[in-house]
Amino acid sequence: MELLNKKILVVGLARTGVAVARFLAAQGARVTVTDMKDEAALAPFLEQLADLDIDYELGRHERHSFLMADLIVVSPGVPMDIKPLLLAKAQRRTVISEIELAARFLTAPLVAITGTNGKTTTTTLTGEIFAACGFKTFVGGNIGNPLIELVTSGEAVDRVVVELSSFQLEGIVDFRPQVAVLLNITEDHLDRYATYQEYIDAKLRIFENQTSADYAVLNMDDPLVAAYAGKMKARVVPTSQRQELAQGIFYRNGSIVYRWEGREELFATASFRLKGVHNIDNIMAALASTLLLGCDAGQALAALEAFAGLPHRMEFVREVNGVAWYEDSKGTNVGSVVKSLESFDSGITLIAGGKDKGGEYTPLAGLVKERVGHLILIGEAKERMCNALGSLTDTHLADTLEDAVTLAHRLTSPGGVVLFSPACSSFDMFKNYEERGERFKSLVRSLDDGAGR
């Protein structure tokens, strides 16, 4: 990709935009950065680019900048359907995501992981297994470091693992991972996509440039994922908790079995620190990805046994008066909360709610009726959630997260579980899901063991 003296527009600053702008400037491109936020709001990011000769259009998007650019690179948080981008595409301007740009400059084998839920756990675990097996590994994409930062560092690595959102996949052209993983598909981001099918189509783009030399790791227990298995150009590596597979990776009698081209490996799950039904899916995907690309089974097992999971995803906080409190702030959609509720049989007090993302809450109905004793709803979505689920169990509306925690502490009997799994994004009340999760944990840690009884 020739970048010298090319007019390149970077849309969206933040961390990814900074990394892209620095890379392009280093390649001799004529860089303009545009963002709808103003200079004051972007000050921390602008400081990081102060030493470079870059033009800025802040607080606005100038139509001519989009139409005159040789290349437009879009940051993940920017919708691909904003008017200036649609105009640019209509005029045959090249519009790509940062992932597409970075991948053009990589040579190491790449594992790309997407899905509605479990991406971050699977991506992190895949990186841990590669590292434990002696491969120098970069882990990033939608988590941690933007992929372009690997390119700018000049660091030589043996393996690359990236988590990809549907937003990032909208902007690929030639992006081709050696291993592409689709964990699951459930309704999400319907505040950004006009239809559910648009969201599905964006996820499926992860496979579009693969060939028969590549691998597509597919969760065959998810009917939507399984429906597309026959359309892959890559070799399909199926995963399943429900059926034994002639080839692929599956769960049977307390063990994960990897069976591929005459090789069979067994991984007993009893020693895993990562618990939960949904995490078996994540572990199988991580094992398939790493074993396909040269990992030793014994070293992979050691990495699995050492991996304790991630903050804000079904994280045990503490026990208070016989009640276990779990923080699952990363559960930002209904499908994720379904998996979390399935981890407990009954006696759940569920705290949920936040910024509504436009999906249906009815998929939670059966589990709420069977397993949730008390439902406490907060945030912008609480009225809509109450209309969908409130009649199924003892339901309360709370004004703040603090009120919700206090109420849960009073309502939940010893032996029960309090689960904070919002099914919504955090932006109505918090900066992000991390801040929301930390606030919840702080509130739980401050509870008095002798109070509320």
Alpha helices in 205-272 (DSSP H): 223-227
Residue 142 annotated to the active site: yes
Q: Catalytic: which of 142, 184, 219, 333?
A: 142
Q: Catalytic: which of 61, 117, 119, 312?
A: 119
Q: Please state, in angstroms and rounded to a whole number, the distance separating the CA atoms of residues 337 and 357.
A: 14
Residue 382 annotated to the active site: no
Token pair in block for residue 20? 């892209």
Q: What angle (nearest 5°) sits at the alpha carbon of residue 126, between those of residues 120 and 132?
A: 135
| Radius of gyration, CA atoms only, the chain | 23
In 10 A of CB 241, how many CB atoms? 16
Q: Which residue has the tokens 């081709």?
A: 176
Exposed, middle or buried by CB within 10 Å (0-12, 13-18, 19+), for 298? exposed
Q: Which residues contact 327 (CB under 8 A, 6 or more apart)?
A: 312, 315, 317, 420, 437, 440, 441, 444
In 10 A of CB 53, how many CB atoms? 8
The enclosing H or E element of 66 equals helix 63-68
Compute CA 106 distance to the chain's CA centroid, rounded to the nearest angstrom: 22
Residue 7 annotated to the active site: no
Q: Catalytic: which of 189, 312, 330, 382?
A: 189
Token pair in block for residue 63? 């139509």
Beta pairing partners, 251: 256
Beta pairing partners, 318: 325
| Backbone conformation region of residue 220, classed left if phi is above 0, alpha if psi is from -120 to 50, else beta | alpha
CB 73 within 8 A of CB 97: yes
Catalytic residue ranges:
119, 142, 189
